[in-house]
């Protein structure tokens, strides 16, 4: 993509309204624009990040055997009356009346709707286990939205819903999502710690939150330091294999959010030099809630014995849009964002230091074409601007690699490449630079 | 994907509420489920079709130089008060009051919001031309939603918005989208005819609708028969080249929807044996509306002369979710859907006629693995069911190719392949069958 044909509105000044670094950087780097309190447009660079996060989430859900569907954003209120949550949910639910005076709502979550889908089609245990997920916009009318996309009102969430014949089977489904989440967050360069958590309005008796440790997090967390270094299941992980063994290293240590923290147990189980008390950003949560929705909504299946029973379910959320902010909280420096390769909007920022110089531009164009042909996403700064501004912008938007092409280097056939994360720079021939970038 | 682990709720009976064939087939083949009037969930097969349609739309927008963003579904009413459309829009607009008593709405279209984005960041002609698009859910509170996803209330739309310094430049942007639309619909196997159209609530003085001819279409159309056979610009089309030449063959002939039809001109320009009067399904529309939004909303840029002027704009919509229905209207037979390869949810349906037979299952598993490794999306029917039901389901869901594996064929190392569109069947060795499918 040529910068001259792109839309990258960089802000030179730090926006006053932004309280945390990810919000500041997302506004400054032209990733998002606020349209109303807690409601954002994703500008081109932000849209690319969001789609990359979404892709990783989708791939890991698919690997874990979940099946993608897509439920609508607007739901009929009657569904929520069946489960009894319509009145419970309070003012966070955006309630809507349509032209025929029917009560509707903008879905804050989808337990009711997916249970309605399930009961409409599934009647036998033979169709189980089943896990349906979707990636769709949700709305929660937060009284005080803040921190940019970290606590917005309209937000993109992946939510999966599992259906099983009994609690034992449901716990296997729960554990599959647990493993998928470990992999999902690790692929984004995050260390997300699973912690026992309250179940809140979703209900149920078993839940883990996945938290990225950050001083700006909304939740206080207490954990054993060693939980930070546990192994993440690999790409070839067998989801029909031993799930407990994959999860055990993560659940063996004390780790809890402040809501459920037990100071006495913490002090008993964790040696003093291993006690960590910090804050975290919730990026995912898994719940097992048994028959909380299936019983009132009559989502039953016949077992092998022919007896009808309500299915056992769980739900599993990932905050897709929130992750864009969480990744920045975890990966930035004074100059700007440092995108992990897996979610970077472009892999390479190619800087033409002197577009008016023919030899420089010919070289830069050639590099742009060759990298693009090799399947690498390049943002090519072909705009006539001073070098300092170009460098500052590239550092701010945080692409993993920079290639700097200037008249002096080109005279001797050389360009400079810079790794954003380390600041390491190297002068290479054009061929060597391209080979390095193609190799990753 | 193994059918035993998939969610494919086939309906054996024809749903009474469905008036047109695409709606009937989408319900029967388990593509969608209605959640409220005009509001649908996309079940797994439907979600896959929708994402394939979306990908084609995106690729062609990108090729034409449009830049992807993502605006939210919920908009503040104040934006629409600026343009004057808040009161004009009537009951089709879903109006919402949030917890702080602020007037909001579920966006039926995004001219106002994108103009707000534009004016916030762009102040010079140097940033032009600019075309921003997004693919996002919209809501129009139709008084009588029907025809399934063809006239739903919540629907997925691609909408692009161009910004130019003057009318001449804006017409180039308009023509780029015109070409992109010709390519987009052709890639989905559709013959979509551009027709002069009324501009309606979007406004402006130039507009074309793209219509797929079908007896079930909502609009009457009149055109010269030869317009059906005009050349579609190829994949390598140069958008900086001669746009007029690409468009001329399509606009040279009379073609109009009934709203703007001129019977006298029709009879004058079209020889009697070339006159076609039928119905069509609108799948896209392009508008040039000049300064209709930029003037009241003060979206101005400084020209080369330093003088501020409102930008000239157009908007360009494609009905992404509607296309799923339109494609079925254009491509089905008595047995079910016939998906064009480009949007098929899976390329191949692999039928294991006797899962309890070891040799048959070993062969089917082998074929499944080899095709999957070759990057082909396979739906593998590994379920124990009678042959007739398996064939009927495969024909109903309309995957382009079927591979039929039975004990008799396997005894001599052979399988049958069937092309859904033609019904042509061929008995081949396993290797030959795989080679045929990998070759496309």
Do B229 and B104 share a domain, yes or no?
A: yes
Please state the ipTM of this predicted complex.
Answer: 0.96
Helix axes A167-187, A243-251, angle to 10 degrees: 70
Do B290 and B353 share a domain, yes or no?
A: no
Give the separation between CA A315 and CA A161, rounded to whole angstroms: 4
**pLDDT surpassing 80 at residue A346:** yes
A404 Cβ contact list (under 8 Å, min separation 6)? A351, A353, A415, A416, A417, A418
Quote the pLDDT of residue A312.
Answer: 97
**pLDDT surpassing 80 at residue A434:** yes
B272 phi and psi angles, rounded to 5 deg = -55, -40
Average pLDDT, chain B: 95
- The beta strands (E) that lie in B233-377 are given as 255-257, 275-290, 300-302, 308-310, 312-319, 332-333, 336-337, 348-352
Q: pLDDT > 70: what percent of chain B?
A: 99
Which residues in B lie closer than 8 A to residue A137 (C-beta atoms)?
72-73, 137
CB contact under 8 A, B41 and A143: no
Do A190 and A254 share a domain, yes or no?
A: yes
- Cross-chain CB nearest to A41 (options B6, B30, B70): B70
Quote the pLDDT of residue B196.
Answer: 85
**pLDDT surpassing 70 at residue A148:** yes
Residue B343 falls inside a structural domain: no
Asked if residues B283 and B192 have their Cβ atoms less than 8 Å apart, the reply is yes
Do A331 and A380 share a domain, yes or no?
A: no
pLDDT-based confidence at residue B184 (cuts at 50, 70, 90):
very high
Residue of A nearest to B49 (CA): A69
**pLDDT surpassing 90 at residue B364:** yes
**pLDDT surpassing 90 at residue B200:** no
- Cross-chain CB nearest to B69 (options A43, A74, A92): A43
**pLDDT surpassing 80 at residue B383:** yes
Q: How far apart are the first and last CA of chain B?
A: 19
- The beta strands (E) that lie in B6-121 are given as 32-36, 39-42, 67-68, 74-76, 94-97, 103-106
Bond prior to A161 in cis (omega within 30° of 0)? no
Question: What counts of helices (H) and strands (E) characterise chain A?
Answer: 14, 23
Quote the pLDDT of residue A202.
Answer: 66
Average pLDDT, chain A: 95
Which residues in B lie closer than 8 A to residue A5 (C-beta atoms)?
65, 67
Quote the pLDDT of residue A338.
Answer: 98
Do B356 and B392 share a domain, yes or no?
A: yes
Residue A290 falls inside a structural domain: yes
Boundary residue ending a domain (B337, B368, B403) = B337
- Write the CATH number for B25: 3.30.930.10
Do B280 and B372 share a domain, yes or no?
A: no
What's CA B419's distance to the chain center, in Å? 24
Query: How close, in Å, is residue B270 to chain A by CA atoms?
Result: 42
Interface size between A and B, measured as CB pairs under 8 A: 148
Which residues in A lie closer than 8 A to residue B68 (C-beta atoms)?
44, 47-48
CB contact under 8 A, B41 and A117: yes
Condensed to tens digits (0 to 9), the pLDDT of residues A320-332 reads 999 999 999 999 9
Q: What is the extent of the structural domain holding A329?
A: 3-337
Do B146 and B206 share a domain, yes or no?
A: yes
**Integer CA distances (angstroms), B328 to A440, B219, B333, B367, in order:** 43, 18, 9, 29
Residue of B nearest to A9 (CA): B121
Alpha helices in B252-347 (DSSP H): 263-269, 320-330
Condensed to tens digits (0 to 9), the pLDDT of residues A250-305 reads 999 999 999 889 999 999 999 999 999 999 999 999 999 999 999 999 999 999 99
In total, how many domains does chain A have?
Answer: 2
Residue A342 falls inside a structural domain: no
pLDDT-based confidence at residue B218 (cuts at 50, 70, 90):
confident
Condensed to tens digits (0 to 9), the pLDDT of residues B396-423 reads 999 999 999 999 999 999 999 999 999 9
Query: How close, in Å, is residue B112 to chain A by CA atoms?
Result: 11
pLDDT-based confidence at residue A106 (cuts at 50, 70, 90):
very high
CB contact under 8 A, B36 and A96: no
Q: Which of A28, A34, A80, A98 to mutate to test the interface with B (most CBs of B within 10 A)?
A: A98
Do A267 and A381 share a domain, yes or no?
A: no
Q: Other C-beta atoms within 10 Å of B330: how many?
A: 20
Residue of B nearest to A100 (CA): B143
What's CA A317's distance to the chain center, in Å? 10
pLDDT-based confidence at residue B86 (cuts at 50, 70, 90):
very high
Do A314 and A356 share a domain, yes or no?
A: no
Condensed to tens digits (0 to 9), the pLDDT of residues B242-265 reads 999 999 999 999 999 998 899 999
Boundary residue ending a domain (B337, B370, B387) = B337
Residue A403 falls inside a structural domain: yes
Residue B342 falls inside a structural domain: no
Query: How close, in Å, is residue A185 to chain B by CA atoms?
Result: 23
Give the separation between CA B301 and CA B315, rounded to whole angstroms: 19
Do A277 and A426 share a domain, yes or no?
A: no
Question: Mean per-residue pLDDT for A27-52?
Answer: 98
Give the separation between CA B402 and CA A74, rounded to whole angstroms: 37
Residue B94 falls inside a structural domain: yes
pLDDT-based confidence at residue A200 (cuts at 50, 70, 90):
confident
Do B240 and B203 share a domain, yes or no?
A: yes
What pTM was computed for the model? 0.97
Boundary residue ending a domain (A305, A337, A369) = A337
- Write the CATH number for A407: 3.40.50.800
What's CA A228's distance to the chain center, in Å? 19
Residue of B nearest to A39 (CA): B72
Which residues in B lie closer than 8 A to residue A130 (C-beta atoms)?
7
Quote the pLDDT of residue A216.
Answer: 81
Question: Mean per-residue pLDDT for A177-200?
Answer: 92
Do A106 and A235 share a domain, yes or no?
A: yes
Quote the pLDDT of residue B440.
Answer: 75
Query: How close, in Å, is residue A333 to chain B by CA atoms?
Result: 25
């Amino acid at each position: 993509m040529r910068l001259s044909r792109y839309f990258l509105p960089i802000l030179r000044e730090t926006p006053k309204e932004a309280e945390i670094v990810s919000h500041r950087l997302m506004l400054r780097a032209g990733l998002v624009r606020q349209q109303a309190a807690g409601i954002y447009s994703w500008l081109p660079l932000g849209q690319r990040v969001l789609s990359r996060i979404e892709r990783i989430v989708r791939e890991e859900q698919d690997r874990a055997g979940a099946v993608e569907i897509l439920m609508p954003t607007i739901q009929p209120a009657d569904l929520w009356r069946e489960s009894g949550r319509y009145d419970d949910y309070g003012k966070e639910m955006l309630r809507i009346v349509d032209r025929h005076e029917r009560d509707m709502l903008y879905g804050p979550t989808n337990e009711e709707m997916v249970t309605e889908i399930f009961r409409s089609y599934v009647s036998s245990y033979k169709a189980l286990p089943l896990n349906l997920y979707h990636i769709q916009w949700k709305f929660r009318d937060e009284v005080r939205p803040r921190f940019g996309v970290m606590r917005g009102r309209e937000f993109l969430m992946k939510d999966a819903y599992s259906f099983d014949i009994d609690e034992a089977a449901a716990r296997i489904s729960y554990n599959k999502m647990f493993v998928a989440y470990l992999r999902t967050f690790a692929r984004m360069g995050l260390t997300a710690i699973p912690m026992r958590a309250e179940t809140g309005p979703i209900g149920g008796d078993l839940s883990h939150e996945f938290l990225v440790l950050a001083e700006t997090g909304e939740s206080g967390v207490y954990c054993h330091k060693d939980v930070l270094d546990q192994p993440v299941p690999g790409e070839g992980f067998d989801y029909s294999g031993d799930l407990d063994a994959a999860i055990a290293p993560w659940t063996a240590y004390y780790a809890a959010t402040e809501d459920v923290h037990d100071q006495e147990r913490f002090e008993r189980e964790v040696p003093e030099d291993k006690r960590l008390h910090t804050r975290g950003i919730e990026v995912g949560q898994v719940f097992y809630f048994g028959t909380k929705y299936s019983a009132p909504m009559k989502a039953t299946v016949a077992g092998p014995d022919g007896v009808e029973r309500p299915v056992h379910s769980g739900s599993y959320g990932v905050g897709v849009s929130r992750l864009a902010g969480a990744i920045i909280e975890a990966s930035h420096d004074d100059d700007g964002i440092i995108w992990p390769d897996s979610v970077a909007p472009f892999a390479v920022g190619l800087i033409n230091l002197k577009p008016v110089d023919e030899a420089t531009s010919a070289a830069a164009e050639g590099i742009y074409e060759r990298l693009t042909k090799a399947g690498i996403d390049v943002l090519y700064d072909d705009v006539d601007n001073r070098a300092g501004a170009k460098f500052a912008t590239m550092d701010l938007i945080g692409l993993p690699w920079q290639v700097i092409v200037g008249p002096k280097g080109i005279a001797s056939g050389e360009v400079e490449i810079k790794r954003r994360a380390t600041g390491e720079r190297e002068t290479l021939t054009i061929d060597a630079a391209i080979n390095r970038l193609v190799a990753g």
